[in-house]
Amino acid sequence: MKQLLLVQFVGVMMLSSCTTYGVRKELSDIESYIMERPDSALTMLEAMDRNDLEQERDKARHALLHAMALDKNYIDVSDDSIAQVAVDYYSKHGLEKYKARSFYYLGIAYYYQKNYTKAILEFTKAAIKSDSLYLGMSLLAQADAYSHTYNDAERLTSLQKSLSVYNELQRESSVDIVNFRLSQTYSNMKRYDLADSLYRS
């Protein structure tokens, strides 16, 4: 009887291990193409069986990728519970880049809730730990949030930092976006000479 129970236990553990391995491989695959094919990534993430996400680590990674895929597909999500799952885990475990990204997407959720104070706080946390791409994104999002609080001075600072990052990355489209928003900010601050030069460029 004891031997039978042992065999059953080992079988369950092996099955669980196989499921966990399969889930992690699928999540890794999705992460590898999420930037180029966010629509496919979102489809795969939403098709996954949540019951297979047995480990907190896997739930957090799925939540982070889900929040990322929604954002990359231009779906405005004000539900902060998705990113919060990632924040709760990555605040204590995992790579710093995942921690930063989870803060960024929680900030995005607060932004769409129009809770700009909370959004700014999360974008600030994200900017501290981000890799270069997400640093630029966090600073630009932070600037947008500051615009809704009518804080042009802080908006200007965030935009200038973001511009520096995007120039280093040589992301011309992002540089153009930042320069346009800088010109708006200078105009708001009645610094029309700077606004005009940026508009012309």
pLDDT tens string for the chain (201 positions)?
A: 555 444 444 443 444 445 678 899 999 999 999 999 999 999 999 999 888 898 999 999 999 999 999 999 999 889 999 999 999 999 999 888 999 999 999 999 999 999 999 999 999 999 987 788 899 999 999 999 999 999 999 999 999 999 999 999 999 999 999 999 999 999 999 998 999 888 777
Q: Which residues contact 141 (CB under 8 A, 6 or more apart)?
A: 104, 107, 108, 111, 119, 123
Please give the structure tokens belonging to residue 68. 């990322």
Measure the CA–CA gap between 34 and 42, rounded to whole angstroms: 8
Measure the CA–CA gap between 161 and 143, rounded to whole angstroms: 10
Residue 2 is predicted with a pLDDT of 55
Residue 143 is predicted with a pLDDT of 97
Measure the CA–CA gap between 167 and 163, rounded to whole angstroms: 6
